[in-house]
Amino acid sequence: MYVPKDEAPKFDPCPQGTHTARCFRFVDLGSHEQKYQGESKGLKRLVMLSFEIPGERMDDGRPFTISKRYTWSMHEKSTLRKHLEAWRGKKFQESDLGPGGFDIRNVLGKTCTITVVHRENHEGDVFAAIDSIGAPMKGITLPEQENETVYVALEPKFFEQAEYNKLSDKMKDFIAQSPEWSRILDGNVNGYAEKSQPSSAGYDESNPPPIEDDNVTDYLMAG
């Protein structure tokens, strides 16, 4: 009896190059242990931004989408801060940070310029990654947004069950392993009381995806 082939679905990577895109999704993934060369680097809060690219179409006619996962940090050297500042065209001030400052929801529905590169994972598969984000190019008008806007925050004040329900099962499995999700459950936010248990298709602690430039479209978005 021969071992079965990997039946995981394959995804055509988003084309390389510089594209005009629109942000349609923000997801708070919660905190997860990160390892480097087998050594634990502790828990890191992760978030994900997703973009649709109307100028590039898949075989079924839908626009390509691509996502990037970030450490939820506004340290001056963090990738998230660098990308947001390049997108806004100005640096953040101290008053922009913390309560009453910049709301990440402001990026939803907004256009930008993204540079997409192709890379290979450890198995030799090619995936698309966002290399940079910048301000939208002048004079370019995008058609209406095609993907549904999604905003998921794992803070009781901002958590909305209806938004969480829009996520794929794999993404829910990943979120379910975070302490932030446990606190949502303990607080029974918005009446949600059913604990979500990770499935066999969920996050593999022995091989966690990298923090930056992860092919999250393949890994977490597939239902």
Per-residue pLDDT for the chain (223 aa), expressed as one digit of tens each? 777 766 666 678 999 999 999 999 999 999 999 887 788 878 999 999 999 999 999 999 999 999 999 999 999 999 999 999 999 999 999 999 999 999 999 999 999 999 999 998 888 889 999 999 999 999 888 999 999 999 999 999 999 999 999 999 999 999 999 999 999 998 765 544 444 433 333 333 333 333 343 444 444 444 3
Domain limits for position 78: 18-186
100 located within any domain: yes
**How far does CA 147 lie from the centroid of its chain?**
15
149 located within any domain: yes
3-class DSSP state of 2: coil
Tell me the backbone φ, ψ of residue 19, rounded to 5 degrees: -130, 150
Angle (CA) 158-22-110 rounded to 5° is: 60
Q: Which residue type is seen at 203? A: Y
Predicted TM-score (pTM) of this structure: 0.81
Residue 213: which residues within 8 A CB-CB, separation 6 or more? Answer: 68, 69, 119, 129, 130, 131
7 located within any domain: no
Residue 34 near residue 71, CB atoms below 8 Å: no
29 located within any domain: yes
Number of independent structural domains in the chain = 1
153 located within any domain: yes
214 located within any domain: no
